Chains A and B, each alone.
Chain A
């Protein structure tokens, strides 16, 4: 395992908002095929950290490497093309478009290579990709509905379908179970597990049951730093974690 070069690696990654050190010098590595959970109390810097990986936020200092390449200065939209896909903590879909159109926007990105393809591409190729993504998340029957009219849980699934249509190598899921019912959580966990067969997953999650079910490795953040990393068993036994996170 140690000999394999990591899929994603950050070195000394740091972000300050004015005087606030949101993320302080984080060294992190993620191997291909993992489902890695990042946990930590509110304000630990988890979302800021993954936002620097996805490129939504640029770091104050430090580097991000993906597949061995330094992508620190690569803009967010190009990182998506490289395969780093982010799904939003707060559901962010195009409410006025239909479910199909939402996913089609993601699917057509994969088929866009130049100006000519942006102006004209095979509708069938797009539709096939949309269909696959919608079947995967179980929203095939809702494809003509307006996204804004879907129930909350389905909007979350739509967000995941959009991510899938982008064919991610690394899928960053930012609190995906937030606001879902217990039944919906069970479904989403199964979905994430099936996605992980083709993609590496970075999961920010508060629901410990979900974390324990999905991840073999857990990273714990507190006050902008990684304070522990290891198997669920190691994490539970870690005194630092117990102190700041599990509140014992």
Chain B
């Protein structure tokens, strides 16, 4: 806050991004693809964390916002032959608008009521995707292969089927959203959100219209989540209702809690760990969710503030 405190944090974030950039040259193909996927999902968790970690609002409906980005982009490519950049923009704008509308209704509630109302809206969205299956492909979804043109950048062509393109587009999405979230949570508005999280009544008596600030948080959160959904569709050429189901509302919650809600790099840490945990556990047993659940219970009991929350409490007090 006093000028010098921001520097180690920015440096750490840039180092993480440089490490991710370098990692693609040493990773074997399987882990290369896995890391690309993790970066996109971690972007989703970054969006979720803005709301849960920095504003104190627990949503169980974020799959609807991830899904909005995914479907808006997917439909724009499939039916309207949009290019990648245009479709990404459509996805982000759609999810921002969707968040704003949802926020105007759901932010009248807090706590458990907010959780339930967001979940209900997400179920409506999910069921609508199934109901309008002639457009959305229902639970089968649809694939974009053959519809999505390669990305043109300054005379060069990049096909999304190329692993290197996949990795770097994922990295770019992640980097932009990570730095955006770092900037946002350290902005004056971000400090107000933390104040709302800690004591909303007091924040109002400091002259802040807390409803507007929470709406801003939800829109930023939804925009980032939607960008992640949009990028996911472009990279993996698939749009499916699974990604709008309740499971995909629970995932970012788990990723964020595990990595550390209210820390900017917690989402990446949590998503990486969970994704690899699921992968490793499913090699041993088909009921891998038990292993995942147990690990989570242990972690939450030992580290209730998540991994990066624990790191902050013990060593890196400056962690944003």
Contacts and interface: CB of A to CB of B under 8 A. Distances in A.
Given A100-B2, A101-B1, A104-B1, A75 B189 contact: no
A58 interface: no
A166 B189 contact: no
B282 interface: no
A78 B205 CA distance: 9
B210 interface: yes
B189 A118 contact: yes
Interface string B176-194: 0000000010011101101
A50 to B, nearest CB: 12
Interface residues of A, number: 37
A104 B210 CA distance: 17
A127 interface: yes
Given A101-B191, A127-B2, A77 B202 contact: no
B199 interface: yes
Contact of B199 (A54, A56, A94, A123): A94
Q: Is the interface of B mostly helix, strand, loop or mixed?
A: helix
Given A76-B205, A77-B208, A108 B199 contact: no
A86 B205 CA distance: 7
Closest 6 CB pairs of A and B: A80-B207, A118-B189, A109-B207, A108-B188, A92-B202, A119-B187
B191 A108 contact: yes
Interface string A72-114: 0001111011000010100011111110110011101101100
Contacts of A123: 1, 3
Contacts of A127: 2
Contacts of B195: 94, 97, 105
Measured as residues with beta carbon below 8 angstroms from the partner, the interface class of chain B is: 20 to 34
A92 B194 CA distance: 15
B206 interface: yes
Interface of B: 1-3, 184, 187-189, 191-192, 194-195, 198-199, 201-210, 213, 216
Contacts of A95: 198
A13 interface: no
A194 B69 CA distance: 56
A112 to B, nearest CB: 7
Contacts of B208: 77, 109
18 contacts: A56-B205, A77-B205, A77-B206, A77-B207, A77-B208, A77-B209, A92-B202, A106-B207, A109-B207, A109-B208, A115-B216, A118-B189, A118-B213, A119-B187, A119-B189, A120-B187, A120-B188, A127-B2
Contact of B207 (A81, A93, A98): A81
Nearest to B3: A123
A111 B1 CA distance: 16
Contact of A105 (B184, B187, B192): B192
A94 B202 contact: yes
B185 to A, nearest CB: 11
Contacts of A126: 188
Given A77-B210, A80-B207, A81-B207, A112 B2 contact: no
B189 A106 contact: no
Contacts of A98: 1
Contact of B205 (A80, A111, A117): A80
A166 B192 contact: no
A105 B205 contact: no
A96 B187 CA distance: 18
Contacts of A75: 209
Contacts of B209: 75, 77-78
A35 B213 CA distance: 35
| Highest count of chain A CB atoms <10 Å: which of B184, B209, B213 | B209
A100 B1 CA distance: 9
B198 A96 contact: yes
A162 interface: yes
A94 B198 contact: yes
A121 interface: yes
B191 A104 contact: yes
A119 B2 contact: no
Contact of A121 (B2, B188, B199, B202): B188
